[in-house]
Amino acid sequence: MDAISVIRTKRDRGELSPEQIDWVIDAYTRGEVADEQMSALAMAILLNGMNRTEIARWTAAMIASGERMDFSSLSRPTADKHSTGGVGDKITLPLAPLVAACGAAVPQLSGRGLGHTGGTLDKLESIPGWRALLSNEEMLNVLDTTGAVICAAGDGLAPADKKLYALRDVTGTVEAIPLIASSIMSKKIAEGTGSLVLDVKVGSGAFMKNIEDARELASTMVGLGTDHGVKTVALLTDMATPLGLTAGNALEVRESVEVLAGGGPADVVELTVALAREMLDAAGIKDADPAKALADGSAMDVWRRMIAAQGGDPDATLPVARERHVVTAPSSGVLTRLDAYGVGVAAWRLGAGRARKEDPVQAGAGVELHAKPGDTVTAGQPLLTLHTDTPEKFDYALRSLDGSYDIAAEGTSYEPTPVVLERIA
């Protein structure tokens, strides 16, 4: 085997053989295939695609590059969720303890934010003392004692994907659906969960801007999960508008706790319950009612135990940004659009996100929404509040909000977009 022949096969729109795939993933992980060679192959895959057989073998090779976790010692069935990322997407925080309260074990390996999309670990690290880095033994112990764990993936899990992901990020090949699907699914399958629910976001604030691409990605990932023996379903969900009323780390934790307390924004509650029902069904738990577990406080009890088990203080005061700037409605009428991408970029520029993986984030930074599409607003009322510790960032953040919202005349009819657009199984 040699890298050039593998590149030529895909460049010329051929099908990579199982042997070629196994070799190139292993050789790249070991450093025998150079970054520039893997970059060329990734670009060929972006341009010419892969069939289901190739994607399944590529995923299997990435899984084989590292360890596989085993949760067979647990007394509960396991179920996990993965979101492709969005603005205000704090769903993992209330969802994991909610599903655990209903009888499943939730081993949630999560990541950090990059660019305009927030990261679950960044959000939870705004809780004083909370730890994202757990050993496999610690992870299993938290999962066994509380029913849910949210933590970072260990270095031994699909190391080929970690290396390839970093390369795709700097070579313009992130958009390749075969590589997106195999990246997500290699980690989730190696994680060892028995069932998986995918939340594939669609809209301006998501990676997939249109429903056709989102459908293709979801179908590919559902197929990969099925091929590897993991019961997998996907929901396509709206990300044209931010989820909930906050985008930012501590702001989103605070909102998640409101949901666990039986309140919170209607769209966050709706999606949390919808995903919980899918996860419970996939895990074979038929008689639990997640809406009831939110209402009776049992999900909140699991949240408090889970946070404490990872060193956090569930009663601690969350960080608050030192400076605020209020954006007011320029006219009266009906808010008909609030662009998720514009809000996400504003939160990122205020310090809630990072441009590079090594950049720090501000726990209190972000954007608070005072109205959502369909709401009636009056001229001069607060529309958004920007939060940051560094007020010199306000002007830069405000530029991203130019043209990000529309206010129509009073009495204008507004048809809301459903939170869940499609289900793929």
Which CATH entry fits the domain spanning 323-408: 3.40.50.620, 3.90.1170.30, 3.30.70.20, 3.90.1170.50?
3.90.1170.30
Q: What percent of the chain has pLDDT over 90?
A: 90
Question: Range(s) for CATH 1.20.970.10 in the chain?
Answer: 3-49
- Check if CATH label 1.10.150.120 holds for domain 3-49: no
Q: Which of 10, 116, 163, 187 is catalytic?
A: 187
Q: Which of 82, 90, 201, 349 is catalytic?
A: 82
What DSSP line would sit under 349-404, residue for residue? Answer: IIIIS-SSTT----SS-EEEES--TT-EE-TTSEEEEEEES-GGGHHHHHHHHTT-
From the candidates 39, 65, 126, 183, give the one annotated as an active-site residue: 183
Quote the CA–CA distance of 410 and 293 in Å, as a whole number. 39
Q: Which amino acid is at 52?
A: R
Q: Pick the catalytic residue: 80, 161, 227, 267? A: 161
Least confident of 145-159, 230-244, 271-285: 145-159
CATH topology of domain 80-154+177-309: Pyrimidine Nucleoside Phosphorylase; Chain A, domain 2 (3.40.1030)
pLDDT, tens only, 19-50? 999 999 999 999 999 999 999 999 999 999 99
Active site residue 30: no
- Paired tokens of 162: 């970690």
- Rounded (10°) angle between helices 177-191 and 35-48: 110
Active site residue 161: yes
Residue 172: which pLDDT band, with cuts at 50, 70 and 90?
confident
- Taking only the tens place, the pLDDT of each residue in 182-217 is 999 999 999 999 999 999 999 999 989 999 999 999
Known catalytic residue at 187:
yes
Active site residue 168: yes
The continuous run of DSSP H or E covering 196 comes out as strand 195-202
Catalytic residue, from 168, 188, 305, 393: name it. Answer: 168
Instruction: Indicate where the chain has its CATH 3.90.1170.30 domain(s).
Output: 323-408
Question: What are the residue ranges of CATH 3.40.1030.10 in the chain?
Answer: 80-154+177-309
**Which tens digit of pLDDT belongs to each residue from 84-141?**
999 999 999 999 999 999 999 999 999 887 778 888 999 999 999 999 999 999 999 9
